[in-house]
């Protein structure tokens, strides 16, 4: 599933493919936001993509998190 993360004051978005489902990603984002709301100035959103690349974003700089569709798109040509 494709995740797009917008960071404040940065024109470019972060895009990564994760093997987790949408509920797991939402849980990770919610947990990071809750830590930030509790006063943890060092709260981060920590995700790992399918290639093992780790992305760590400080919660204070999060602009948005967009979660892609669960189902893969059809590939190829065909008549419906």
Average pLDDT, the chain: 88
d(CA 7, CA 79): 41
Task: Look at residues 8, 56, 6, 4 and name the one whose alpha carbon lies nearest to residue 32.
Answer: 56
Q: Which two tokens stand for residue 49?
A: 């993509």
pLDDT at 67: 93
pLDDT at 66: 95
- Quickly state the pLDDT bin for 39 (edges 50, 70, 90): confident
pLDDT at 40: 86
């Amino acid at each position: 599933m494709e995740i797009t993360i917008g960071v404040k004051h940065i024109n470019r978005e972060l895009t990564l493919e994760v093997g987790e489902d949408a509920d797991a990603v939402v849980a990770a984002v919610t947990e990071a936001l809750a830590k930030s709301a509790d006063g943890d100035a060092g709260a981060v959103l920590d995700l790992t993509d399918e290639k093992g690349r780790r992305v760590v974003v400080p919660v204070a700089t999060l602009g948005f998190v967009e979660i892609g569709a669960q189902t893969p798109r059809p590939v190829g040509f065909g008549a419906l």
